[in-house]
Structure 1
Amino acid sequence: MQNPDARALFLYPTKALSVNQERKVNDLFDQLGIDAVAETYDGDTKDDRKKLIRDRVDVVISNFAGINQYLDSHMKWRDIFKNCELMAIDECHTYTGVHGMHVAWVIRRLRRLLDHYGSDPQLVCSTATIGNPREHSEHLTGAEFEIIDEDGSPHGRREVGFWQPPLQETGDLVEELEEDEILPSMRRNSDEEAAGALVHLAKNDVQTLMFTDSRQGTEIGVKRAIEAARSHPDGKYIDVEPYHAGLSKRKRRAVENQLNAGQVDGVISTSALELGIDIGSMDATVLAGYPGTRQSFWQRIGRAGRGTTDSLSVFVPQSDAIDQYILNNPDYVLEENVEDAVIDLSNNPVYAKHILCAASERPLTEADTKWFGPRDRLSRAINMWQAAGQLVGDLDRGAQYNGTARPQSGISMYATTDEQYDVRQVDGEIDMEPLDKERVYREYHPGALVLYDGDQYEVQEVVEDRINPYVTVERSNSANYTQAIHNKRITDLDVERSYDLGGGYQLCAGMGTVHINYSAYNVIDMYTGEIVEPMIPIDLAPISLRTQVMWIAFPREIVSRVLNEIPRSSYLQPEDSGEFASMGEEEYTLAGGLHGGEHGMIKMAPLELRLDNSDMGGLSTLHHNEVGSPVWFIHDAVEGGVGFAHSVYENFQSVAQRTVERIDNCDCERDVGCPACLMSSQCGNQNEPLHRPAAISFLRAALNKVEDATTG
């Protein structure tokens, strides 16, 4: 630092990573002989340190949730904003989806104020390997970048194992089966296998980090691991802890410290430990299922053997389509390039919230189209807030904030809506983070059984008729968990882009209103995975969200074509009662084909795009009132959308081609498919109906039309 007044901002995704990196930055300064100090400034910083850090510390380390809150007090930050010469943003690959949208607007608000104080800092973005580092950094920040991509970091030998769960049963009949005759359902539960792998490694003094993809999965995994360790002949105790964002800050820090000090044998985590928090040198990682992207796959594997030590990573596939594809095609993750990072700034509800924040920080003028343009979009947001009484003035005179509350407090960095539910324990205290409404309805509805920090709870009630809604839970000794069932409809379609493929086929992208009704739940045995109590009703109102949608409309003539292409002996027979009882076998089979095609597209999209299929949902129907023909939809799972469904629209041909290959080549050869090709654990209709041959026929018909349209 040649300029004695020069200041810098280092920004990280989480508080934990900020604190962790503070030590490393100061150690680096010492090693290089640089007379500079770095210090963390966030919500945990003591008040008597804050002014000193703002006024004197050379490198201020923080996170975007904090920066969002501090910008309306920018006068307190004027010294650093005036002298800021460097802004470094770490872990940029994590800023996608809803969180990425919020961070992108916070960065623009921050750069606007830096510009106001006369500084134009150099921006540095660091990222794990992604397919589009320059494009993503530019979308995230609004600045231009040059790429430095030579890897000089040291690393030891890394072994990666692919572990197919063994068969549940043995015997002559089973042993005579060929590999392609074995169904996923014949194999042992993959989550139990992953927990067993952790136990085996831990008992051999190999400190292991296991990744799973849900908070509940971490808690169930810990129970399974401890149970497996207890039943082991050696009787050796192992200490296994959960780690996820729903745990209290105190609990998470304790687990991080235990890992760093080697005081815990194993940890089962969500993606929360993918980031670069220093947790010491782990000996091994276990991946319970594919995390959705190659980038995340390697990020998780890379948590073991940091530095020059050797490491082992074990991938235990789930029975679904993507995991089985990767098991059979390991070069997909070992050889192919990683995916692009997706960030979409078109979500107007999120945009409008940040425009209100920006106006409260400094009046908005024509010059601010540089940060928040184009002008017509900025004007629409200003007009909306004027009508709500929150802004006065316009871009010519300056649009000023006219509200009483701090709009920054209304920004939830991981959501598009502000509604959060507290969790309260009957006759006790539970230190749990607030929940968003959709998670409450899906996982914390009345009667739900949930695990938290190793303990089981039953939800007693959901209280919503007040400003601060909450959920009450009570301790439970149940060995079960619950899974909600939902039904869905999509209305009020607004076409933004379309591609007429000819012959009545049309590919569309736009907006739609998705109505989701969580109507019932199943009670499931935690250890066997069997449903012990089916379809218990839930009394909750439907959730509606206006979001991004893509769809393909088929001509009515597709019905006869599909039926002619599949053997009549494969037709499905609807149940005598229930939602589909009124359908004949032809209609039920066709519905199964559309449903299967929709499932397949959602399941395979992560192989082409940087997204998780939990970020999307779908719907298929033989007749939609607005479309007027058979159709399947894929939609974003959050208010306003984040660009995922539209990415499927833009990459429809490649996603559909991969989907056809997977479904057609599935070893199950069953008409109704299996978890490796059509079935989905997220299906609101309990995977009924599904018809694999009809799904292939629908997909091929669509693909042929796309190929004709693009080559003709």
Structure 2
Amino acid sequence: ASYMKQAVGLAADLVRAKVPTLVFGQSRNTVERMLRYLREKVGDTVPRDAIVGYRGGYLPAERRAIEERLRNGEILAVVATNALELGIDIGGLDAVVCAGYPGSIASLWQRFGRAGRANQDSIAVLVTSSAPLDQYLAREPGYLLGATVEEARIDPHNVEVFVQHLKCASFELPFEKGEAFGTLAADATEETLDYLVHNQVLFDTGKTYRWASDAYPANNVSLRSVGWDNVVIIDLEHDKTIAEIDFRGAHTMVHEQAIYQHDGETWQVERFDYENHKAYVKRVDPDYFTDAMTYVQVKVLDVFDESELALHAPSGQRIGTDADAPCLTGYGEVALVEKVVGYKKVKFQTHENAGYGDVRLPELSLHTTSFWLTLPEWYVAAQPEGRAAVVDSLRGVGRALETVATLALMCEPRDLGTTLGEDADPDLAGAPAKLGAVRSYRPTLFVHEYVPSGIGLAERIHAHKEVLLDRARELVAHCPCPRARIRGRRGWGDTSAPRRAWPGRR
């Protein structure tokens, strides 16, 4: 059974025993499916409204009503995302079930701490998924029990964060000419203030910058995400707003013909008004849900730093005059282009594929930061398994590196992503080959951030690349699956010498 079903099974046993329970899921769709499964399992003994969902996207009035019922002890089980992790009084709960590792020790203990208030006994369970990070923790429980809570980091100069803070500060008190904001230099502060003047948010009096907009800026500052632009979801039959979703998430969850799940019910998206940010849905009862398929491309815009890692050909073999060409690593600003190209229909309970559909939506662009690792052409040619095996192995290295980076940095798995491309050199990537020339092939692994402008994660990966690559190698080497170990080593050198098989190892 899947980890979600295992978590639901444990929660069902607790609910039948009348133990107030909180179940944490990793995403909105996961929460909705678990809510549906849990209600089906205990529907013969527990009223439907005694089991509720709680996540971002529910309307404020709906969330407040759930919180009040929790405090009054009217709810027996809640299935929630991290929206219920902290900052909300949820009354007395006796059990917590986490379906999947949340991404940091601090977050896990915060979730476990939601139960057992007032010095009462409680139970907390972590059900690990098949994800590499979860499997590592399942094999190394001492890491969870013995490691200290991570150090939280944020980049206050992130453009998306900084501009919003500057708007809120301007609303409270006018800025004087030449005044600095926080640790930012005065000239950079003034440049940003002039940008807000240009967009008619502020007014330049000659001596001060004063608030000129009729909107309250704090309303557009989210405590849980950088973006603020939302799409409203409207019930076609009753012409009533039932939920909202961030604009980026709307591409995968409310494209036309998508099955949108809300409070355990299913709605089909009949029309997505892209320009006006409205999705129109109708109540349906299918035996499947939809899962969007996304295509991602990365283009390097600016190189902040680059360095070299040594590589050797298999068994010490040297090929041509470029055999000493290094493996390049770096980090910098990138343009991330995402496009939802289709969706899968997946059956409830069995999770079988039931079909596919096309999605026609514009691309989404995101300027962020990324770490990259580029293999030289000679190294690709030296692998006896061929180019396809190299690409497959590099993709596996990306998953392993993303896993260990998530552990090493205090971030959630969805804060990072991996993509394969060709050549990180912004002057060469995508350039056509000269007439009569054979274009070189230099596969590149990108480990990029999903936060606009980045918050420093890519920079830290680059700074600690040798340690993180070594940990990634150890993760693959100790995987209990023989097929995974072979795949992890192939394409990186002689399988009899796996340490030399990884970048940075001689």
TM score, norm. by length of structure 2: 0.85
Aligned to 1:326, what secondary structure does the other structure show?
helix
Post-superposition CA distance 1:236-260 (Å, at most 9, x none): 3353211112222333233323333
> How far has the Cα of 1:477 moved from its partner?
0.2
Supply the distance in 1 between the matched residues of 2:207 and 2:228 (Cα, whole angstroms): 28
Q: Which amino acid aligns with 2:406?
A: P
Deviation at 1:301, TM superposition (A): 0.9
**Where does residue 388 of structure 2 map in the other structure?**
588
SS in 2 for 1:548: strand
| Alignment of 1:280 onto 2:101 | no
Contact 1:410–1:418 (Cα < 8 Å) also in 2:
no
Give 1:554's aligned residue.
375
1:518 partnered with 2:346: no
Which residue does 2:362 correspond to in 1?
A: 541
Q: Is the 8 A contact 1:194 1:316 kept in 2?
A: yes
Residue 494 (structure 2) pairs with residue 694 (structure 1): no
**3-state SS of the aligned residue for 1:434?**
strand
* C-alpha contact 1:382 1:399 (8 A) present in aligned 2: no
The CA deviation at 1:400 is 1.7
Instruction: Report the counterpart of residue 27 of structure 2 in structure 1.
Output: 214
Superposed CA offset, 1:378-416 (max 9, x none): 13313434554655659xx53424744437167332444
Tell whether 2:460 aligns with 1:647: yes
Q: Deviations over 1:257-298 (max 9, x none)?
A: 333333222111111221153322211111111111111111
Q: Deviations over 1:555-603 (max 9, x none)?
A: 2222144x25xxx4xxxxxxxxxxxxxxxxx222111112121222223
- Contact 2:309/2:503 (8 A) holds in 1: no
Q: 1:543 to 1:295 in 2, by over 3 A?
A: same
The answer to whether the aligner puts 1:406 opposite 2:215 as a matched pair is yes
Alignment of 1:420 onto 2:230: yes
Question: CA offset at residue 344 of structure 1?
Answer: 1.0
- Say how many residue pairs are matched: 473
The 8 Å contact of residues 463 and 471 in structure 1, kept in 2 or not, is answered as yes
Distance 1:671 1:658, change over 3 A: closer
* Structure 2 counterparts to residues 128-147 of structure 1, below 5 A: none
Structure-2 separation of matches of 1:240 and 1:318: 23
Point out the structure with max Rg over C-alpha: 1
Q: CA deviation at 1:371?
A: 2.4
- Work out whether residues 505 and 702 of structure 1, in 8 Å CA contact, stay in contact via their aligned partners in 2: no
Q: In structure 1, what is the Cα distance between the partners aligned to 2:69 and 2:199?
A: 50
Structure with more helix by fraction: 1
| Per-residue Cα deviation, 1:34-71 (whole angstroms, up to 9, x for no partner) | xxxxxxxxxxxxxxxxxxxxxxxxxxxxxxxxxxxxxx
SS for the counterpart of 1:512 is strand
Match for 1:226 among 33, 39, 44? 39
Q: Which residue of 1 aligns with 2:248?
A: 438
> 2:274 maps to which residue?
464
1:507 deviates by 2.3
Between the aligned partners of 1:337 and 1:695, the Cα distance in structure 2 is: 36
Is 2:352 aligned against 1:527?
A: no
Deviation at 1:418, TM superposition (A): 4.5
1:201 aligns with 2:14: yes
Deviations 1:157-216 (A, max 9, x none): xxxxxxxxxxxxxxxxxxxxxxxxxxxxxxx11101101101101111222111111122
Question: Which residue of 1 is the match for residue 286 of structure 2?
Answer: 478
The structure-2 alpha-carbon separation of the partners of 1:383 and 1:557, relative to structure 1 and needing over 3 Å to count, comes to farther
The match for 1:504 is 326
AA paired with 1:309? Answer: Q
SS class of match (2:37): helix
Matched to 1:400, the amino acid is Y
**Equivalent position of 2:438 in the other structure:** none
Partner of 1:613: 413
Q: Which residue of 2 aligns with 1:170?
A: none
**Structure-2 residue corresponding to 1:155:** none
> For the residues of structure 1 that align with 2:281 and 2:220, how far apart are their CA atoms?
27
Pick one of 269, 276, 280 that aligns with 2:80. 269
Alignment CA distance shift 1:348-1:522 (3 Å): same
Corresponding letter in the other structure for 2:264: G
For 1:18, the equivalent position in structure 2 comes to: none
User: Aligned pair in 2 of structure 1 residues 607, 393: CA closer, same or farther (>3 Å)?
Assistant: same
* Structure 1 residue 630: Cα displacement: 2.3
After TM superposition, give the deviation of residue 367 of structure 1 in Å: 6.4
Question: CA distance change for structure 1 residues 704 and 517 in 2, over 3 Å: closer, same or farther?
Answer: closer
Q: Deviations over 1:407-452 (max 9, x none)?
A: 7167332444443211111112555443222101011111111210
Q: 1:494 maps to what in 2?
A: 302
Match of 1:602 among 402, 416, 430: 402
Asked if the contact 1:604/1:655 (under 8 Å) is kept, the reply is yes
Which residue of 246, 261, 280 corresponds with 1:451? 261
Q: State how far apart, in whole Å, the 2-side matches of 1:342 and 1:459 are.
A: 38
Rounded to whole Å, the distance in 2 between the matches of 1:625 and 1:617 is: 20
**Closer, same or farther in 2 for the Cα pair 1:642/1:300, shift >3 Å?**
same
Unaligned runs of 5+ residues in structure 1 are 1-187, 569-585, 674-690
TM-score w.r.t. the length of structure 1 is: 0.62
1:237 correspondence with 2:59: no
Residue 476 (structure 2) aligned to one of 663, 669, 688: 663
CA spacing shift, 1:697–1:485, aligned 2, 3 Å: farther
Aligned partners of 1:594 and 1:601: how far apart in 2? 10
* SS state at 1:226 partner: helix
- What's the CA shift for 1:513? 0.7
The one-letter amino acid paired with 1:613 is P
What amino acid sits opposite 1:650 in the alignment?
A
Residue in structure 2 matched with residue 292 of structure 1 by the alignment: 103
1:351, distance to aligned residue in structure 2 (A): 1.9
Cα distance in 1 for residues equivalent to 2:216 and 2:90: 36
After superposition, the C-alpha distances for 1:364-386 in whole angstroms (9 at most, x for unaligned) are: 23663252522232133134345
Q: 1:418 to 1:246 in 2, by over 3 A?
A: closer
User: Out of 182, 186, 190, which is 1:371 matched to?
Assistant: 182
Q: Name the amino acid aligned to 1:530.
A: E
| CA–CA distance in structure 2, aligned partners of residues 532 and 213 of structure 1 | 24
Judging by fraction of residues, say which structure has more strand: 2
- Point out where structure 2 has 5 or more consecutive residues left out of the alignment: 311-324, 430-441
Query: Deviation string for 1:113-144 (max 9, x for gaps)?
Result: xxxxxxxxxxxxxxxxxxxxxxxxxxxxxxxx
Residue 648 of structure 1, CA deviation: 2.3
Q: How many angstroms does 1:633 deviate by?
A: 0.8
Distance 1:271 1:416 in 2: 16
1:205 alignment partner, SS class: coil
Q: How far apart are the structure 1 equivalents of 2:51 and 2:186? A: 54
For residues 497-533 of structure 1, give each alpha carbon's deviation from its aligned partner in whole angstroms, at most 9, with x where no partner exists: 3334464233212111111111111111121111111
Cα distance in structure 1, aligned partners of 2:361 and 2:491: 33
For 1:408, give the aligned amino acid: P
Residues 459 and 701 of structure 1, relative CA distance in 2, 3 Å threshold: farther
The answer as to 2:69 corresponding to 1:258 is yes
C-alpha spacing 1:547/1:702, structure 2 compared with 1 (3 Å): farther
Per the alignment, do residues 524 and 275 of structure 1 end up closer, same or farther by CA in structure 2, a change over 3 Å counting? same
Q: Secondary structure at the match of 2:252?
A: helix
Q: 1:557 to 1:380 in 2, by over 3 A?
A: farther
Of the structure 1 ranges 300-309 and 417-426, higher mean CA displacement relative to structure 2 is found in: 417-426
Shift of residue 360, structure 1, vs aligned partner: 4.6
For 1:180-191, list aligned pairs within 5 A: 188-191=1-4
